């Protein structure tokens, strides 16, 4: 994949990294909560999240897309290489967590079942100390989860800095509008700084750009919702009112489906 091609599609890469990071964060936090409650992480969930070389999962695709974006950013912002490192670090910690989850789910029950069998004193003296390995696996999972949670928090803060240069990215604005609940749930306290960095004191820009992108994508009804939101925030914004008018016109020109 050439640097020139990546630079030409930088807006899409920036949107994809934001989207996939938020989606992966939700899955991971669900597993972390499960561990806090039940002391276990689902191996199938982690396996599907990571995938494998010939069938990459969401987190693996995020890592690859982050490499393409942050290593080919023409602005060469020092935040970019740190984000690249952080996403890669989180990925490899998740790989370790997946392996520990497999041991906890498969090998721990096997050991407990074997230990219940009749065995001589000599054999029992050899295998009994192996029980400590189960506790060590759980401790390892605790450490990995703690590290992943920490690095995800740092990634969110780094993203607030990095995306400040992407305030004109209409694809990103459309994502923030379409997946508002997802992004808010992931960024939490950093959601405000994220939007502030992107749009400064003109938050209506997000809705206008999202509406324009939605209109281009053939979704005039959703574009109208975004335009109304922009006009509500900034009643004097002529660009927002023009978008309202254009979206309404597009809706009026759309052939109505016949009722069956």
pLDDT value at 258 more than 60 = no
Q: Which domain holds residue 65?
A: 3-166
Mean pLDDT, residues 225-232: 96
pLDDT value at 54 more than 70 = yes
Better-scored residue on pLDDT, 52 or 133 = 52
Indicate whether 223 belongs to any domain.
Answer: no
Tell me the C-alpha distance between 142 and 133, whole Å.
Answer: 14
Mean pLDDT, residues 223-241: 95
Indicate whether 42 belongs to any domain.
Answer: yes
Indicate whether 214 belongs to any domain.
Answer: no
pLDDT band of 44, cuts 50, 70, 90 = very high
pLDDT band of 5, cuts 50, 70, 90 = confident
pLDDT band of 127, cuts 50, 70, 90 = confident
Indicate whether 201 belongs to any domain.
Answer: no
pLDDT band of 1, cuts 50, 70, 90 = low
The pLDDT value recorded for residue 26 is 98
For the chain, how many structural domains are there in total?
1
The pLDDT value recorded for residue 64 is 95
The pLDDT value recorded for residue 90 is 97
pLDDT value at 260 more than 60 = no
Residues 69-95 have pLDDT tens digits of 998 887 767 899 999 999 999 999 999
Kindly report which listed range (21-35, 131-145, 223-237) carries the lowest average pLDDT score.
131-145
Kindly report which listed range (19-28, 180-189, 246-255) carries the lowest average pLDDT score.
246-255
Indicate whether 202 belongs to any domain.
Answer: no
pLDDT value at 137 more than 90 = no
Indicate whether 107 belongs to any domain.
Answer: yes
pLDDT value at 259 more than 60 = no
Indicate whether 254 belongs to any domain.
Answer: no
The pLDDT value recorded for residue 256 is 62
Look over the chain and give the mean of its residue pLDDT values, rounded to a whole number: 90
The pLDDT value recorded for residue 125 is 78
Better-scored residue on pLDDT, 204 or 256 = 204
Indicate whether 74 belongs to any domain.
Answer: yes
Q: The tokens of 108 are what? A: 């721990």
The string of DSSP letters for the chain reads --HHHHHHTHHHHHHHHHHHHHHHHHHHHHHHHHHHHHS---HHHHHHHHEETTEE-HHHHHHHHHHHHHHS-TT--THHHHHHHHHHHHHHHHHHHHHHHHIIIIIHHHHHHHHTS---HHHHHHHGGGHHHHHHHHHHHHHHHHHHHHHHHHHHHHHHHHGGGGTT-HHHHHHHHHTHHHHHHHHGGGHHHHHHHHHTT-THHHHHHHHHHHHHTT-HHHHHHHHHHHHHH-TT-HHHHHHHHHHHHHHHHSPPPPP-
Mean pLDDT, residues 192-214: 96
Q: Give the global pTM.
A: 0.90
Q: The tokens of 259 are what? A: 């009722």
């Amino acid at each position: 994949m050439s640097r020139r091609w990546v630079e030409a599609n930088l807006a899409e890469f920036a949107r994809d990294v934001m989207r996939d990071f938020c989606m992966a964060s939700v899955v991971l936090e669900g597993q972390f909560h499960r561990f806090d409650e039940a002391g276990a992480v689902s191996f199938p969930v982690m396996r599907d999240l990571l995938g494998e070389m010939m069938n990459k999962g969401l987190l693996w695709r995020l890592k690859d897309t982050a490499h393409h974006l942050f290593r080919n950013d023409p602005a060469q912002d020092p935040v970019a290489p740190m984000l690249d490192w952080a996403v890669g670090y989180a990925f490899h910690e998740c790989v370790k967590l997946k392996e520990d989850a497999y041991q906890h789910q498969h090998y721990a029950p096997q050991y407990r079942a074997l230990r219940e069998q009749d065995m001589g004193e000599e054999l029992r003296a050899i295998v009994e100390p192996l029980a400590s390995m189960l506790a060590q696996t759980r401790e390892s999972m605790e450490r990995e989860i703690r590290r992943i949670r920490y690095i995800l928090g740092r990634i969110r803060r780094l993203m607030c800095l990095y995306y400040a240069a992407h305030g004109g990215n209409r694809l990103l604005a459309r994502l923030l509008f379409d997946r508002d609940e997802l992004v808010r749930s992931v960024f939490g306290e950093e959601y405000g700084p994220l939007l502030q960095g992107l749009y400064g004191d003109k938050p209506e820009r997000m809705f206008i750009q999202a509406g324009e992108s939605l209109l281009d994508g053939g979704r005039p009804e959703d574009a109208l919702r975004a335009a109304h939101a922009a006009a509500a925030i900034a009643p004097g914004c002529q660009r927002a009112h023009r978008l309202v008018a254009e979206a309404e016109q597009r809706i009026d020109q759309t052939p109505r489906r016949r009722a069956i």
